[in-house]
Amino acid sequence: MEFTAQMIASFLHGEIEGDPDVKVNNVAKIEEAQPGTLAFLSNPKYNNYLYTTQASIVLINKDFVIEKEVKPTLIKVPNAYEAFASLLQLAQQGKTVKTGIENPVSVSETAQIGENVYIGAFAYIGDHVKIGKNVRIYPQVFIGNNVTIGDNSIIFPGVKIYEDCILGNECTIHAGSVIGADGFGFAPQSDNNYKKIPQIGNVVLEDFVEIGANATIDRATMGSTIIRKGVKLDNLTHVAHNVEVGENTVMAAQSGIAGSTKIGKNCMFGGQVGFASHITIADGVKAAAQSGIASSIKEENLIVMGAPAYKISDYQKAYIGFKRLPDMIKQIYALEKEIKELKSNQK
Q: Write the CATH number for 258.
A: 2.160.10.10
What is the average pLDDT across 284-311? 95
What confidence tens digit (pLDDT) does each residue in 206-250 have? 999 999 999 999 999 999 999 999 999 999 999 999 999 999 999
pTM: 0.83
Q: What is the CATH number of the domain that holds 55?
A: 3.40.1390.10
Q: Give the confidence band of 97 by pLDDT, cuts at 50, 70, 90.
A: confident
Same domain, 232 and 267: yes
Among 93, 113, 137, residue at a domain's last position:
93
- Domain annotation covers residue 230: yes
Name the residue type at position 35.
Answer: P
What is the tally of structural domains in the chain?
Answer: 3
Indicate whether 297 pLDDT > 80. Answer: yes
- Domain annotation covers residue 107: no
241 is an active site residue: yes
Q: Give the confidence band of 76 by pLDDT, cuts at 50, 70, 90.
A: very high
Q: Distance between CA 249 and CA 236 in Å, rounded?
A: 16
> What's the DSSP call for residue 198?
P
Same domain, 279 and 341: no
- Domain annotation covers residue 89: yes
Active-site annotation holder among 128, 174, 238, 241 = 241
Strand, helix or coil for residue 91: helix
Helix, strand, coil: what percent of the chain each, to 5?
Answer: 20, 30, 50
Same domain, 171 and 259: yes
Q: How many helices (H) and strands (E) does the chain have?
A: 4, 40
Indicate whether 346 pLDDT > 90. Answer: no
- Domain annotation covers residue 217: yes
Indicate whether 165 pLDDT > 70. Answer: yes
- Domain annotation covers residue 153: no
Same domain, 223 and 327: no
For 154, half-sphere exposure in the C-beta direction (CA atoms, 13 angstrom radius) is: 11
> Which residue range(s) make up the domain with 336?
317-346
Same domain, 272 and 191: yes
Beta-bridge partners for 232: 210, 250
- Domain annotation covers residue 120: no
Same domain, 325 and 272: no
Same domain, 167 and 256: yes
Q: Which residues are within 8 A (CB) of 121 and not within 5 positions of it... i.e. 6 or more apart?
A: 102, 103, 104, 105, 139, 140
- Domain annotation covers residue 151: no
Same domain, 275 and 328: no
Same domain, 324 and 254: no
Among 59, 93, 127, residue at a domain's last position:
93
- Domain annotation covers residue 180: yes
Same domain, 297 and 199: yes
What confidence tens digit (pLDDT) does each residue in 29-47 have? 999 999 999 999 999 999 9
What confidence tens digit (pLDDT) does each residue in 276-287 have? 999 999 999 999
Would you state the pLDDT for residue 347? 67
Same domain, 300 and 324: no
Same domain, 47 and 175: no
